Amino acid sequence: MKDFKITDYARQQIRKLFSQRNSVNTLKRDPELTQIFDNFAFDEALKLTEEPVLEKTRAMCILASTIGCNAMRQFKVYVDVCLNVGIKPREIREVIYQTVPYVGFSKMIDFLLEMNEVFEDNDIKLPLDNQGIVTPDNRREKGREYIDSIYGAGTVEKMEKEAPEGQEHIVEFMESYCFGDFYTRCGIDKEHRVLVTFCLLASMGVAQPQLENLGVACKNLNITKKEMVAVLTGMLPYIGFPKTLNALTAVNGAYPEAD
């Protein structure tokens, strides 16, 4: 059997990120695959993300992608990674909460329970402080304001005007539930909230129109094309080439000119 060789840079990153390396690879039973993946994910791909995006941003985006891929084992690993790189528990929870309108409660609840287990294992007191700021009376209004703030003035009016007859309530739910209840929450800033949502949809691979819209929102929030490409480069080892290429198509459409 060939010698097992992981680059020094990859080993350094692995030691920094992961509490228990045996929980995230198949070092003993599948050393060949471990070598290929580790050298790609923690050396080749990771090096290209270090200058454009913060380590915390990359970790949060990969965490969101594990939910989109329905990758529970990797999700638990990345909750731990997020804690290891200094991401606050409330920030981790907001990433999970942000997925609710997109993957649905039935899928999200399993991830939320696993997150809480990791928190308890790390002696993090639960429940965490509330981060919601809307009321039953203003949630729709605040959601409408948020939509226009990231997509441009008049977006909400256009959505409501173009809603098919009998489906107006879906637009209302988007304003009050999706954006009012979730996007307006504190805990992470607007840029990270929109970016992790983009990464979630990229990893799902089934929502190209929505992904393209969120690419525009990221640009409107002054997230650069270089940052978007770097985030997707860091996610590539986890979500694969087809989903990454679809996401890059959305980025290229939102940023027709290089930053």
Q: How far apart are CA 51 and CA 250, in angstroms?
A: 22
State the DSSP string of the chain: -------HHHHHHHHHH-S-GGGT--TTT-HHHHHHHHHIIIIIHHHTTTTTS-HHHHHHHHHHHHHHTT-HHHHHHHHHHHHHTT--HHHHHHHHHHTHHHH-HHHHHHHHHHHHHHHHHTT--SSPPP-----TTTHHHHHHHHHHHHH-TTHHHHHHHHSPTT-HHHHHHIIIIIIIIIIT-SSS-HHHHHHHHHHHHHHH-S-HHHHHHHHHHHHHTT--HHHHHHHHHHHHHHH-HHHHHHHHHHHHHH-SS--
pLDDT at position 30:
83
pLDDT at position 21:
55
Extract the tokens encoding 213: 């819209």
Extract the tokens encoding 223: 């997230």
* Ordered mean pLDDT values, 10 residues apiece, the chain (259 residues): 77 88 60 92 96 96 98 95 97 98 97 97 97 98 98 96 97 98 98 98 95 97 98 98 98 85
Cβ-contact 221, 190 below 8 angstroms:
yes
Q: How far apart are CA 23 and CA 77, in angstroms?
A: 8
Side chain identity at residue 201, one-letter code:
L
Cβ-contact 123, 116 below 8 angstroms:
no
| Angle between the N-to-C axes of helices 55-68 and 190-204, in degrees from 0 to 180, rounded to the nearest 10 | 40
For residue 29, give every residue at least 6 positions away whose Cβ sits within 8 Å of its Cβ, in sequence order, or none: none
Task: Say if residue 52 is preceded by a cis peptide, omega within 30 of 0.
Answer: no
Extract the tokens encoding 96: 């999970």
pLDDT at position 19:
83
State the DSSP string of 119-149: HHHTT--SSPPP-----TTTHHHHHHHHHHH
pLDDT at position 17:
93
Q: Which residue has the tokens 């959305």?
A: 250
pLDDT at position 23:
47
Of 183, 184, 155, the C-alpha closest to 171 is: 155
pLDDT at position 110:
97
pLDDT at position 22:
46
pLDDT at position 1:
41
pTM to 2 decimal places: 0.94
